[in-house]
Amino acid sequence: MNKGDDEADATIEPTENDKTGELPPTTRVGFRSPPEATRFKKGVSGNPRGRPKGSLNVATAFTKALREKVVINEHGKRKTVTKLEAAMKQVVNKGASGDLRAVVQVVALAQYAEGKQSAQNPKDPVIAEVDQEVIDGIVKRFQETLRQESSEIHGGADGSNERG
């Protein structure tokens, strides 16, 4: 049989021991033609015990947990903050008290936050040398045009006046 041939490889013949008492019609079985008994049924999921609707993946559950509010006491006052903020305050306070592991974590978080912030708000826009040359050329042509218009308005370069 050829590899690209879509013909069925075998035929299932009805058996005499069929429990229903009726003989099913001859069905061709083979490549792209599975037996009818093993085919997906219409309207029935192929994965009935799959992931339930509404269940969260790990990243979503983690983000949701970090955004939950908690009440903390800060300088004798009750304050409501997110769990993320409370955790950050604890790490920073431990680092300030001398815990070396916390210091390392605070420094790493600070560098990460600064990198994110500088990526979002570039302070020094970098202009390529070629781009700067193009900008300079445009400015030069604009200035020349202004000079020409100014000389036409205030008297020609040859000293003649248009009022004539």
DSSP string for 143-162: HHHHHHHHHHHS--TTS--T
Report the range of poorest mean pLDDT among 3-7, 80-84, 98-102: 3-7
pLDDT at 155: 72
Q: Do the Cβ atoms of 68 and 84 come closer than 8 Å?
A: no
**pLDDT tens-digit series, residues 13-66:** 656 555 555 545 667 888 988 888 888 888 888 888 888 888 888 999 999 999
pLDDT at 158: 54
pLDDT at 69: 96
Rounded-to-integer distance, Cα 102 and Cα 96, Å: 8
Rounded-to-integer distance, Cα 158 and Cα 137, Å: 27
The domain segmentation of the chain, as residue ranges, is 59-120
pLDDT at 122: 62
CB-hemisphere CA count at 13 Å for 154?
A: 6
Determine what percent of the chain is predicted with pLDDT higher than 70: 75
**In 109-147, which positions are buried (b, 16+ CB within 10 angstroms) versus exposed (e)?**
eeeeeeeeeeeeeeeeeeeeeeeeeeeeeeeeeeeeeee
Secondary structure element (H or E) that encloses residue 119, with its range: helix 100-120
Confidence check: pLDDT of 107 > 60:
yes
Token pair 């420094």: residue: 107
